[in-house]
Amino acid sequence: MLILALLEGDDMYGYQMIEALARRSSDLFQMKEGTLYPILHSLEKDGCLSSYQQEAPSGRMRKYYKLTRKGKKLLDEKRAEWTAFHQGVDQVLSGGAGTLA
């Protein structure tokens, strides 16, 4: 879900995603390349991401990833799941929405 959310706004290359994830999470999430790239390849294989090559200012080619319609739909589904999970945890931590018999 976090990778999909990163790509919701802009296309990004791998290292850019690693930096953005760390920055947006105040360094709570430190993803390694060995973790990120298998996720990206799986999401691309499933049609949730597409990719393209673009030359960087250094002259090297970078592979950018882009969220597809299918990826956006998956992100929306995962956000709904997260919201339900988060609300359930909050209810338990606050003593619950009602009493159990």
CATH of the domain at 37: 1.10.10.10
The reply to whether 20 falls in a domain is yes
User: Each residue of 43-54: pLDDT tens digit?
Assistant: 999 999 999 999
Q: What is the Cα–Cα distance from 97 to 101, expressed in whole angstroms?
A: 13
Q: What is the Cα–Cα distance from 11 to 64, expressed in whole angstroms?
A: 6
Which residue, 94, 55, 46, is CA-closest to 73?
46
The confidence score (pLDDT) of residue 99 equals 52
The reply to whether 101 falls in a domain is no
User: Each residue of 2-26: pLDDT tens digit?
Assistant: 999 999 999 999 999 999 999 999 9
What is the residue-averaged pLDDT of the chain? Answer: 93
- Domain tally for the chain? 1
Q: What is the Cα–Cα distance from 66 to 3, expressed in whole angstroms?
A: 11
The confidence score (pLDDT) of residue 93 equals 92
**Residue 87 CB partners (closer than 8 Å, separation 6+):** none
Which residue segment(s) compose the domain that 11 sits in? 2-89
The reply to whether 97 falls in a domain is no
The reply to whether 100 falls in a domain is no
The reply to whether 16 falls in a domain is yes
DSSP annotation of 56 reads: -
Question: pTM for this one?
Answer: 0.83
The reply to whether 96 falls in a domain is no
Q: Which amino acid is at 40?
A: L
The reply to whether 82 falls in a domain is yes
